[in-house]
Amino acid sequence: MEVETENDRCNQGQKDDLHAQLWHACAGPLVNVPRAGDKVFYFPQGHIEQVEAYSNQDGKVEMPIYDLPSKILCKVVYVQLKGPSPEHRTSQCLHQKINACPFRKRLTPSDQSAHGGFSVPKRYADECFPPLDMSQEPPTQELVAKDLHGSEWRFRHIYRGHPKRHLLSSGWSTFVSAKKLVVGDACIFLRGENGELYVGVRRATKSQISIPASVISGVSMQHGILASAFHAVSTGTMFTVYYRPW
């Protein structure tokens, strides 16, 4: 995941910003993101080391020398929460209030299987999903959930089995394949005040996060980090920082 600081394009500082709540639910409790107006120290060397770890750069490359302090006091102007996706833009802003508490479940082998479905605990199904028509046999409904990128995912919610349980059947294997989910990953659902459903993913380990081959090289990113920070310090202007919170 990335955070971008730049001029304000949409107000993501609101407490009822569903996009931010879903992002933080996916990121986990250890991720701390500064807010607009906060004063922070920016560490160029630390940023470079993070890029090296992220890009899996082999060998050491001699970098140009910039006259930069070890830490730079900055004021955050704007924060944009982003998510990794090669197919979709990641800057969509959603402003909906949460009606029900989110629920999170780690995927079991049967959840991750292409021939199975996603088993939902009854309490979470009752809280987060619209009520089923129990006069049907079996009770079923079609669910549409939006992810962080605004893409829609369609699932068939069914209540069946012995003993009976809630399952997401049709559409679930497509979601698992598209998101490259593995056992141990967590699936997160939120329900908006207007009844709209949202879905997110929290990866089990950071080692599963891969970088597309087409992304700019680690060396070029490091050059850009130093050059932009040096220019900002020299001219007293704003600069943009892309980083992945650990």
* Angle between helical axes of 218-235 and 44-55 (0-180°, round to 10): 160
Instruction: Output the six-digit token pair for 134.
Output: 């129990």
Domain range annotation of the chain: 2-84+210-235, 98-207
Tell me the C-alpha distance between 26 and 199, whole Å: 9
How far does CA 141 lie from the centroid of its chain?
27
pLDDT on residue 161: 85
Where helices occur in the chain by DSSP H, the ranges are 18-27, 44-55, 109-112, 122-128, 172-179, 218-235
pLDDT on residue 117: 87
Average pLDDT over residues 138-147: 93
pLDDT on residue 14: 37
Burial of residue 182, with CB atoms counted within 10 A of its CB: 0-12 exposed, 13-18 middle, 19 or more buried: middle
Q: What is the pLDDT of residues 88-138, one digit of tens each?
A: 333 333 444 444 457 889 999 989 886 778 999 998 898 889 899 999 989
pLDDT-based confidence at 65, cuts 50/70/90? low
Q: What is the pLDDT of residues 147-200, one digit of tens each?
A: 988 899 999 999 998 888 999 999 999 999 999 999 999 999 988 777 788 999
pLDDT on residue 213: 44
pLDDT on residue 15: 34
pLDDT on residue 23: 83
pLDDT on residue 207: 45
pLDDT on residue 214: 43
pLDDT on residue 52: 74
Tell me the C-alpha distance between 36 and 39, whole Å: 9
pLDDT-based confidence at 145, cuts 50/70/90? very high
Instruction: Output the six-digit token pair for 92.
Output: 């969509």
> For residues 202 and 186, is the Cβ–Cβ distance under 8 A?
yes
Instruction: Output the six-digit token pair for 133.
Output: 């028509």
CATH architecture of 98-207: Beta Barrel (2.40)
Q: What is the pLDDT of residues 3-42, one digit of tens each?
A: 444 333 444 343 335 677 788 888 888 888 888 899 999 8
